[in-house]
Amino acid sequence: MKILVSAYACEPGKGSEPGVGWNWVKMVSHRNEVWVLTRRNNRERIEEELAKNPLPNVRFEYVDLPVWMAFWKRGQRGVRIYYYLWQYFALRHARRLSRDYKFDVGHHVTFVNDWIWTFFSLLSIPYVWGPIGSNPRTPWSLLESRRSCLFDLSRFVFQCMARLVDPLFWLSVIRAKKIILINGQSLNLAPFTWLARRKTLIEPAIGVEEDLQPAPFSEKDRTIFLFAGRFIPIKCPQVALDSFIKASKTNKNILLIMLGEGPLLSDLKARSREYEVSDRVKFIPWLPRDEALSLMNESDIFLFPSAEGAGMVVLEALALGKPVICLDLGGPGEFVNEACGIKVPIGDHARVIDRVSQALLRLSSDKHLRATLAQGARERSLHFVWRNKSELINSIYNEIAVNKPDSGGVA
């Protein structure tokens, strides 16, 4: 089939949104001819990768706002507003392409965002919307400051209002032939719960490569725990550190590596000095993905008490055979089961810290359990390999093709 894909974020060799965009494009192209609309700042990385590993069925079309409309954007500042406006320019480009090619299906891939419209709602071709989703509300027991609580509440309320008041969002929900949500929480939000239950499926946005090779299991004396992620409230790095501090009072022979950067870094470093664990807590700034995976492979257990809705790094840890300690919440809570890690129930702050620290002590002292979970982690990761999404995608496209022609839409 001829497929038009919207992938605002799309870069090879990256994690998070860019990695999602790139890998979904690859999966769509396995059996289809694909045109991809993405941003111009992705062009250099894409062309470098295509020179080494061509995708013969894919053509990239680069779209951006005019400079005079985008001078205010700096890095992540204003990225969602920019993305909202980008949809209009992508729509213009998509209409031109649609005149030259008769697309069978449109597919919105990134942003993985369930509160901003997609330009496909104003095209006449049938389309798949997703994967889309958003982070759930972070339990306030995990947020240490009133400011963090207010920020998280404001984020959640703003996203709910955006879904309710934007007519283009409602049109996106109504016109979509299939909606792919990254977890079940979005299905309970308006207007999805009113309009989309019969055409929605749940599928994680993220996947994992089959060629990741776990290091051989070793029974070394010192147990290394790894946290990897931005140091922001929703990732709960302070929960990881506080739990380690408590566990280290019982077991001095454990080490915590915290890989990442963010506004909480100085507070985390100060806390490690205050509780005199600086010699057992190592902070490492962001690394290129291959180096980060190598560091993960050298660790024993992945500690990730995050409240986010996705969690690609968790799948990478599982693929490398690392048992995972996480919260029973969001994406990580869905990926991890008793065969590959320990999920900690949500409770008040002190109880969560106590439960996570007990999990740290349990895995650091029981090498047999650690070896069993390491094997289970690798097996669990095979449920989330990228190639499985190719089969899913084509089954959806075939379903849409059977039900053509599309009767709705705006030319």
* Residue pLDDT, tens place only, 325-362: 999 987 888 889 999 999 999 888 899 999 999 999 99
Q: How many residues does the chain have?
A: 411
Higher per-residue pLDDT: 215 or 296: 296
* Averaged pLDDT score across all residues of the chain: 90
* Domains of the chain listed by start with CATH number: 2-133+166-207+385-402 (3.40.50.2000), 223-384 (3.40.50.2000)
The pLDDT of residue 408 is 42
Structure tokens at 360: 């740290």
Give Rg (Cα) of the chain: 22
Please report which confidence band the pLDDT of residue 407 belongs to, taking 50, 70 and 90 as the band edges: very low
CA–CA separation, 324 vs 292, rounded Å?
16
> Residue 214 phi/psi, 5° resolution?
-70, 145
Buried b / exposed e over 198-217, threshold 16 CB at 10 Å, is: eebebbbbbbbeeebebeee
Buried b / exposed e over 347-364, threshold 16 CB at 10 Å, is: eebeebbbbbbbbbbebb
CA–CA separation, 369 vs 372, rounded Å?
5
CA–CA separation, 377 vs 13, rounded Å?
23
CA–CA separation, 127 vs 94, rounded Å?
13
How far does the chain reach from its first CA to its final CA, in angstroms?
21
Please report which confidence band the pLDDT of residue 395 belongs to, taking 50, 70 and 90 as the band edges: very high
Quick: pLDDT tens for 198-225.
Answer: 999 998 888 888 777 787 766 677 899 9
pLDDT above 70: residue 283: yes
